[in-house]
Amino acid sequence: MAAAEKREQLFHFTNLPGKKCLSLENSATTDLLMKWSMKDTIQVQYYSYDKLFQSYQKDDFALDFLTDSQVMSTLSVISSRGSWGGLGFKAAKVEVEPVPCTITSMTIFDRLQEEGIVRESGSIMKCFDEFYEDFQISDELRKMLLMEDSDNYEMYSDEERDELLLRIFKHLCLGGAVCQYEDDIKPYLDTTKALYKELISVQKDASTQDLRVTSLVYRVKAWDKDDHQFYPSEDDHEQTFAYLIVDPLKRHVTVFYHRWGRGIFG
């Protein structure tokens, strides 16, 4: 955790308003996000930065990002009243969690069918209703994602669950506060693939010709000078998140943000 104590800003940022996350804006996806109660609570924004970034600088990078004047005036968040607006506070302290991002294939989801969570047709196996925190669990998919005592929880290791690809999948499957869940796995997989592909950067390894992820990913939280947590929101929740996805080659940073249950229609 890093705190802003009489330090010079190392990185400066420029908003890139012309760059859009197309996978979130096509009509098929917006319809799904509306159904999943995420359309008005999810956002992707883009910035460039001015200096070489290395992973050991992650705390300084995040603190500079959340105190930068251009970020302060352009970064959008959802307030406690449920409306979109500016950041409102300058970060005095940040917590930066590195998020593994190494997967370049969707084959990891083949296990859903192999373990009987999804039928060959793509339909998701139902189960008796259970409740876990804010979530109603009516199928084996959400049970596997949320409940450690589920028979299928260990089909993915902790290291695999930590990967950005599986995090995106989980976020989409759980949805927002009034989510209407899918009966078929395909919408979740298709949306996960499109969003992941657009959020990360890859390049081909010269020696093996295999694709390799070049993005560095961090989940970020921030507090103001009065030790009040304000980013991504005042309260922690499974479905409230802010990821900084850094492309060190292009010197771009992507902000992938969602707040649980606080959209204008939430």
User: Could you report the per-residue pLDDT of 166-220, keeping only the tens digit for each?
Assistant: 999 999 999 999 999 999 999 999 999 999 999 999 999 888 888 999 999 999 9
- Judged by average pLDDT, the poorest of 73-87, 96-110, 217-231, 241-255 is 73-87
Can you give the pLDDT at residue 206?
Answer: 84
**What would the pLDDT profile of 139-170 be if each residue is shown by its tens digit?**
999 999 999 999 999 999 999 999 999 999 99
**What would the pLDDT profile of 85-115 be if each residue is shown by its tens digit?**
999 899 999 999 999 999 999 999 999 999 9
* Residue 2 to residues 61, 88, 94, 150, 232, Cα–Cα distance (Å): 10, 20, 5, 37, 16
pLDDT band at residue 266 using 50, 70 and 90 as cut-offs: very low
3 state SS for the chain:
CEECCCCCCCCCEEECCCCCCHHHHCHHHHHHHHHCCCCCCEEEEEEEECCCCCHHHHHHHHHHHCCCHHHHHHCCEECCCCCEECCCCCCCEEEEEEECCCCCCCHHHHHHHHCCCECCCCEECEEEEEEECCEEEEEHHHHHHHCCCCCCHHHCCHHHHHCHHHHHHHHHHHCCCCCCCCCECHHHHHHHHHHHHHHCCEEECCCCCCEEECCEEEEEEEECCCCCEEECCCCCCCCCEEEEEEECCCCEEEEEEECCCCCCCC
Can you give the pLDDT at residue 164?
Answer: 98
- Give the separation between CA 161 and CA 61, rounded to whole angstroms: 25
Sequence-distant (≥ 6) Cβ neighbours of residue 25 within 8 angstroms: none
Of 246 and 263, the structure prediction assigns the larger pLDDT to: 246
**What would the pLDDT profile of 111-125 be if each residue is shown by its tens digit?**
999 999 999 999 999
Beta bridge partners of 202: 213
